[in-house]
C-alpha cells in the first residue's frame, strides 16, 4: 500500500457524463453558465461536452458553441469526447486543446456501445491519436466496465491492464478506469490497480467509479491508498445509470471534495463555490441533488 | 493497520434507530413483521425498540408488545434501548435479555438530549448497569457525537476513549461509537480508533456511522482496516438526520453487506432476504429507499 497523494486532481465530468444522461436537454447558454460556475470553483479539468451525433445524444448537441462560449480559465482544461475523426475535426474547429476517447475493457459492451470489437476499437483510436498528435491535442482515454460488464459479467483485470498499456503507448496521457455499472468493492479495486500499476506508472491512472451500489467513495478511498491521484466525479452526482434506470451513477464531486478536505489532501477546489454550481444545475434540470454533502448543507 | 476481520457482525438498528425518526408511526403488528423478516435474513443482533416516553417518541410506543410478539430466533438477540431504571424494568417484564444505553461524548449534546452532564449520565448508567447485572441482562453502550457535535463542534478522541473505557469497566460488553451527524472522514476514523484501541480491546468496539455527508461506507471500510468487526446499520437506510432535516442518516445495511460480500468477509446475512425486508418496510412507511443496492436491484 502506497502513501496517500498530497494533492489530488478531481476531474469534473458533469457537463458531459452527467448531462448526457438527463431527460431534459439544456440550452447552450445554460451549459455555458454551468461550466463557468464550475471553473470558478477551481477545477483543473472540466469535461465540457461531446462531439457525437446530436440525433443520438441531443443533450450534447452544439458542444462547439459551448466550447467557444465558455470563459476559459487559464489553469483549467476543457476536454471534449471525440469518438471518431469527424468528432476530432469538429473539436479542433471549436478550439479544443484536450480530447477524450471512450474504450471498453469488455468485448460485449464495446460491441453494443461503439459497434465494433475491442481490437477494432484500438485501431480506430490509433487513427484518432495520430491525428491528435498532428494537431498537438492532448488525449485522455476512458476504459469502461473495468469492474464488470452489464452484458458479460466479470472482466479480467489483466485485460484492462493490457488495454491501458496499449492506450498509453499510442499516446494517451492518462487512462481513466471506469466502473461503469458501479458494482466493484474495495478489494476488487486493490486487485485491479495492482494489475494496472504493474504496466503503467500510477500517475497515468485515473479512476471513474460509479455509485450504483453505494460503493464509490469506499472504492475511491482504496484507489487513493494505492496512490491514484486523479478522480473523476460529477457535481450533484448527475448522470444516473443507463443499465439500472433510477439507480445512482456518477459519484458526486462534492462528496469526494469533502472527503479529501477531511483527509487534508489538497484539491484547490472551493467547496462552497462548487455547491453553488450544484444547486444551480439541479434547479435548471429540476432534478434532485444526489450529493449528500449538498443536501446536508442545504438543510442546515 | 490490522488485518481485516474474517467475520463481521452487522448490528441491525432499523426497528429502533430507523423507525424512531419516521413521520409515520407503524402498528405493533407491522413492527413485528418487520423484525421477523430481518430475523429471517440471519442477523445476530436486531435492535427491537426503545423503552422511552411514548409521548415523546410515539414511534416506539408498545415496544413491550413488539418484544413479546416477535418470533425470536435462537441465534439472534433483540436488544432494546433503556434510558433509565424504569425502562429497564419494563424491558425485563417484556422478556428482554439485551439492553442498550445511550451516552454522548459531547457535553452539550448530552445536556440537550438527556438533560444532564456527561458526568451525571455516567452515574445514571452505573445504576442501570448494577440493576442489569442483578438480572443478568447484557448491556451495550452507545456513545454519540464521537466525530463532532451539532452544538459544540469538535469532540476530542481521548474524551471518547476515556468514556468508552469507563463504560466497559462498568460492565458494558460493547461500546458503539456513533458519528451522529455523519461528518467524519476516514482519516478521523483512524485517529479516533487509535485512541480508543489504546484503552479498549478492539473486539469491544462497534461503529455506528451515519451517512449525512456520504462518508459512511468509506469510514466503515477504514474501521474494518483498523480491526473493528461490529458495524451498526439500518435496513433501507431508515432514520434520517434530526439535525439536518431531509439529509441522510444511518448507513443502509444492504450497502454494507454488499461491500462485505465483495471483500469476502463472512456476515451470515442473506442479501436477498434482507432486500425483502427492505422493500417491505419502505412500502409500509411509504418512503423512498435509501439503500443504493436496494434501488439498483429493484431497477434491474
ipTM of the complex: 0.95
How far apart are alpha carbons A223 and A2 in whole angstroms?
Answer: 10
Q: Which residue of B has its CA nearest to A288?
A: B246
How far apart are alpha carbons B233 and A86 in whole angstroms?
Answer: 51
How far apart are alpha carbons A234 and A122 in whole angstroms?
Answer: 27
Asked if B190 contacts B221 with a C-beta cutoff of 8 angstroms, the reply is no
Q: Using CA of residue B103, residue B187, residue B252, residue A248, what is the dihedral sign?
A: positive
| A214/B255 CB distance under 8 A | yes
Contact status of A275 with chain B (Cβ, < 8 Å): no
Residue to substitute from A213, A233, A289, A299, interface B, most B β-carbons within 10 A? A213
Active site residue B110: no
| CB contacts, 8 Å: A218 with chain B | 217-218, 220-221, 259
Contact status of B261 with chain A (Cβ, < 8 Å): yes
Tens-digit pLDDT string for chain A (300 aa): 557 999 999 999 999 999 999 999 999 999 999 999 999 999 999 999 999 999 999 999 999 999 999 999 999 999 999 999 999 999 999 999 999 999 999 999 999 988 999 999 999 999 999 999 999 999 999 999 999 999 999 999 999 999 999 999 999 999 999 999 999 999 999 999 999 999 999 999 999 999 999 999 999 999 999 999 999 999 999 998 888 888 889 999 999 999 999 999 999 999 999 999 999 999 999 999 999 999 999 987
* Residue A280 in grid coordinates: 444551480
Contact status of A292 with chain B (Cβ, < 8 Å): yes
Contact status of A252 with chain B (Cβ, < 8 Å): yes
Asked if A253 contacts A28 with a C-beta cutoff of 8 angstroms, the reply is no
| B221/A218 CB distance under 8 A | yes
Global model pTM greater than 0.90 = yes
Pick B247's closest partner by Cβ from A186, A258, A295.
A295
Amino acid at each position: 500500500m502506497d502513501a496517500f497523494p498530497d494533492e489530488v486532481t478531481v476531474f469534473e465530468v458533469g457537463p458531459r457524463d452527467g448531462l448526457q444522461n438527463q431527460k431534459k436537454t439544456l440550452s447552450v447558454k445554460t451549459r455555458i453558465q454551468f461550466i463557468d460556475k464550475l471553473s470558478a470553483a477551481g477545477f483543473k479539468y472540466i469535461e465540457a461536452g461531446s462531439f457525437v451525433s446530436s440525433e443520438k445524444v441531443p443533450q450534447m448537441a452544439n458542444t462547439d458553441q459551448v466550447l467557444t462560449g465558455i470563459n476559459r480559465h487559464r489553469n483549467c482544461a476543457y476536454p471534449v469526447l471525440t469518438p471518431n475523426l469527424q468528432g476530432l475535426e469538429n473539436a479542433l474547429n471549436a478550439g479544443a486543446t484536450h480530447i477524450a476517447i471512450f474504450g471498453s475493457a469488455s468485448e460485449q459492451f464495446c460491441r453494443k456501445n461503439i459497434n465494433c470489437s475491442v481490437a477494432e476499437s484500438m485501431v480506430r483510436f490509433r487513427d484518432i491519436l495520430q491525428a491528435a498528435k498532428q494537431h498537438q491535442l492532448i488525449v485522455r482515454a476512458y476504459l469502461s466496465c473495468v469492474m464488470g460488464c452489464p452484458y458479460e459479467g466479470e472482466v479480467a483485470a489483466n485485460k484492462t491492464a493490457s488495454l491501458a498499456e496499449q492506450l498509453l503507448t499510442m499516446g494517451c496521457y492518462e487512462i481513466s478506469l471506469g466502473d461503469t455499472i458501479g458494482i466493484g468493492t474495495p478489494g476488487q479495486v486493490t486487485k485491479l490497480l495492482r494489475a494496472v500499476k504493474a504496466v503503467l506508472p500510477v500517475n497515468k491512472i485515473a479512476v471513474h467509479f460509479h455509485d450504483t451500489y453505494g460503493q464509490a467513495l469506499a472504492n475511491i478511498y482504496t484507489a487513493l491508498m494505492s496512490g491514484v491521484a486523479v478522480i473523476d466525479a460529477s457535481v450533484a452526482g448527475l448522470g444516473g445509470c443507463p443499465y439500472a434506470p433510477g439507480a445512482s451513477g456518477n459519484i458526486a464531486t462534492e462528496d469526494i471534495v469533502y472527503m479529501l478536505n477531511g483527509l487534508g489532501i489538497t484539491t484547490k477546489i472551493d467547496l462552497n463555490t462548487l455547491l453553488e454550481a450544484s444547486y444551480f444545475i439541479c434547479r435548471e434540470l429540476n432534478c434532485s441533488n444526489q450529493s449528500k454533502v449538498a443536501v446536508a448543507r442545504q438543510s442546515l
